A and B are shown apart, each in its own frame.
Chain A
Amino acid sequence: MIMAIIVNVDVELAKRKMKLKDLAEAIGITVQNLSILKTGKARAIRFSTLDAICKHLDCQPGDILEYRPDATEE
């Protein structure tokens, strides 16, 4: 199922010149799971995970998640 929700973890990581592995270690989830999230394959995200990402990257949930209606047509 293609969703219109885009995950911008990679963009936020790039802004901070941080690696996926470092974030995974910092928030206590596996690189594989974070990769699933980054590539948009995840079906859902826990508030606790979102909280940890936002806390560590010092950003808002809106910076991580984006609603793009035309993404379903891509």
Chain B
Amino acid sequence: MKKLKTTSARLQVLALVFFVLTPCVVALDAGTGAWAELLNMPQGISLDSTQISGGGLLAVLALGSIKPIAYMVAFYLLYKLLGLYRMGVIFTAENVAAIRKIGWALVSIDIAAMLQTLITGPVLTFFQITPGHISARLEVGFLIVGLFVVLIAYVMDMGRELKEQDSLVI
């Protein structure tokens, strides 16, 4: 138990660091004009940086923030879960709910990424930042991991029920 608490405390700091770093990276990309990196643009599509101002700038920032926000939600939920582990809370309903939320947050990262890719083309075309283009990308890495985490949450829930029953065996 002590090892779990210590490791959780360290990982909690790491999750917090990544939570803070995520918007910093977005700000850095925006500050240095690395718009293609921010928007995960496919190679070969040129961006007209002169058009990125006013409404165009807001649109680019909004589009570029979709995936980082999903990451931040996942890091925040991970931070909370590790906090529960740090306090020694393992097989509880609160813990199971936290794991399930992380699973769905991971699934939402890929959904957000696919959504971002899909709407980036039409939006940038509308603001004349890029010549007319539309692109789609299939991202399933986080989706598979996320669904697996949701499954683990169900297993943890069974563990919680067993622990509850065990506490009533004298």
> Which residues in A have some Cβ–Cβ distance to B below 8 Å?
29, 33-34, 36-37, 41-46, 49
Contacts and interface: CB of A to CB of B under 8 A. Distances in A.
A38 B53 CA distance: 75
| Closest CB pairs A-B (n = 10) | A43-B168, A44-B169, A37-B170, A42-B170, A33-B170, A45-B170, A42-B168, A49-B170, A43-B165, A43-B169
Contacts, number: 21
B163 to A, nearest CB: 12
Taking each of B165, B169, B170, which has the highest tally of chain A beta carbons within 10 Å of its own beta carbon? B170
Contacts of B165: 43
21 contacts: A29-B170, A33-B170, A34-B170, A36-B168, A36-B170, A37-B170, A41-B168, A42-B168, A42-B169, A42-B170, A43-B165, A43-B168, A43-B169, A44-B168, A44-B169, A44-B170, A45-B169, A45-B170, A46-B169, A46-B170, A49-B170
Interface string B154-170: 00000000000100111
A42 B164 CA distance: 11
Interface of B: 165, 168-170
Contacts of A44: 168-170
Nearest to A38: B170
A37 B169 CA distance: 9
Contacts of B170: 29, 33-34, 36-37, 42, 44-46, 49
Contacts of A43: 165, 168-169
A65 to B, nearest CB: 12
A39 to B, nearest CB: 11
Contacts of B169: 42-46
